[in-house]
A and B are shown apart, each in its own frame.
Chain A
């Protein structure tokens, strides 16, 4: 199981990746959409955790592009729930069950990851 974390907050994704690694989940992180798209060229990921609100390319755009490149890839959205619109977009794209509000506890995240991958 290999996971890609995409969030413009480097402090957040790097720590989250480290914590997942401590729980023996292989996780990489990038801070931009471009990096994410480049990274999937060289690595295979089962699942991507995307922040909805990322500068330049939004999480939703990134998901659309990644889905084209990697049809088997699953997605989970994380958001600070900036606005009602953001929330609606996130849950419409991924389904409300794949939506996690920030801050998220590591247990909830891992449970959600397992749930998504099991489907």
Chain B
């Protein structure tokens, strides 16, 4: 996770004022990611949700419609079945007189014809106006039976046609009774009654192809099953659903079964009968294809969102990182300019101070020299060793001062490369001259190991001086008193020399080693480090065509390894 974190994430900008948000890269990143991803994802989710709902609704209404159609068609088939038989009975009434029908032989003939022509007829009876079954043909002995007080007989008198509930017949087979009233010219009437086997009903219903747990059956107005059902009980059982309200046309509604699963229930009241046709389907099964489509839709949505997020994060991180890097570059350049200006000013100041001091120093030198000349030339003083020593001491001090001013003057801060032939050891010693006093006070042992056969190199003295001064200063800061600083110069190959600056100081933690050349990386901020020393050193080494690397172990010390070309190339000196 740490390695995925972009560089700008932990950047704390020092900028303040109205434009400070301009450099809050984490905020820029968050805003851009939020906006970009939002603009892409929100419409996608919106469209997907709308599409989801519209499709689901369409599929649901399609299911309801299909169920409704199925119920209507089945209702027509059953109605037709009953109607056909009612019409047959009606036709018999019209075709035969009461007397003819009262003739058992004739009635038997008719029953035989009905069985052949329509099927399902079990028996046939003629009941006179008083409710007595005058003639009967069929498997029972019902001749003479009085139906006067029976409910169905009263109904047939009122309605002319009657269809009974299903009842269990003699052979333990469900039956239904159809009765048709026929008025006679003398004002009286009779009723033709037939029993029909419901097997044909069941056949009609079982022909319907219903998927999975679908079911179709007929109930009466009390909710008692009139035909067998696959999953909702046997004939004469009561269904768990409430009896649906009367409606003229086919109705479809949703309901829950005993397990709480959604059901689609279609029903239709069969006119002139006590029957209600019901078709029950499991919604879950019907919606299965939609659930598969829905899964694909959700998967597609998830993958799209994932891709949008990955691309957004990638692109935004890349862009913000680029801006961040560019901004760092800008800040660095600004600081570099500031730094080199400062260095140039210090250089000029040092040079002018050195020059101003050199003149009085020259006078002291000449005056003391003259005193010494006089002592040496005049016999009276030449033997006075103390006086001569005193003058020598003055002259020696002047020389020391002169060495310092000369060093200051030659310490040109590398604004422009001034390529000359240099002896590397000489340059190192020259720079070390600045630190020799400190080394003495702190008892730091410095050894310079430079074989005599190291060739002179063409390079810029000022740059080399600054590089070594920075490295030595760093080493001195890292070392405790009585430390060791080893400087080793070697010829690396025909065209390169290497310089190793190794101290036995505190060392740099492994995590910081690769950052030491970054600007503003400093472990010495409390001691006034700017974090620019090694950054500038790195830049200078590059500028004069060299390379620099570092190796460090905590507690053991740090080594800087520099390689320098013996001949500086033109483009490098111009760069």
Contacts and interface: CB of A to CB of B under 8 A. Distances in A.
B361 A102 contact: yes
Central interface residue in A18, A82, A104, by most chain B CB within 10 Å: A82
A19 B352 contact: no
B94 interface: no
Interface string B390-421: 00000000110010001001001000000000
Interface string B416-449: 0000000000000000000000000000000000
How many of chain A's residues touch chain B, expressed as a range?
Answer: 20 to 34
A11 B365 contact: no
B412 A102 contact: no
B469 interface: no
A102 B367 contact: no
A19 to B, nearest CB: 5
Interface stretch (B205-213, B295-303, B333-341, B369-377): B369-377
A40 to B, nearest CB: 24
B370 A9 contact: no
B355 interface: yes
Contact of A81 (B358, B373, B377): B358
A12 B359 contact: yes
A80 B354 contact: yes
Contact of B363 (A15, A101, A105): A15
Nearest to A51: B359
Contacts of B355: 53, 80-83
A81 B406 contact: yes
Contact of A11 (B354, B367, B373): B367
A46 B363 CA distance: 24
A11 to B, nearest CB: 5
Given A16-B366, A101-B406, A9 B373 contact: no
Interface in A29-88: 53, 80-84
Given A22-B377, A82-B352, A12 B412 contact: no
Given A80-B355, A102-B361, A15 B366 contact: yes
B377 A102 contact: no
Contacts of B406: 81, 101
Nearest to B409: A81
A25 interface: no
Interface string A5-29: 0000101100110110011000000
Central interface residue in B348, B363, B377, B398, by most chain A CB within 10 Å: B363
12 contacts: A11-B363, A18-B370, A22-B374, A22-B377, A80-B355, A80-B358, A83-B351, A101-B402, A102-B402, A103-B365, A103-B402, A104-B365
Given A80-B358, A82-B355, 19 more contacts: A9-B359, A9-B363, A11-B363, A12-B366, A15-B363, A15-B366, A80-B359, A81-B406, A81-B409, A82-B351, A83-B351, A83-B352, A83-B355, A103-B361, A103-B362, A103-B364, A104-B365, A105-B365, A105-B399
Interface of B: 348, 351-352, 354-356, 358-359, 361-367, 369-370, 373-374, 377, 398-399, 402, 406, 409, 412
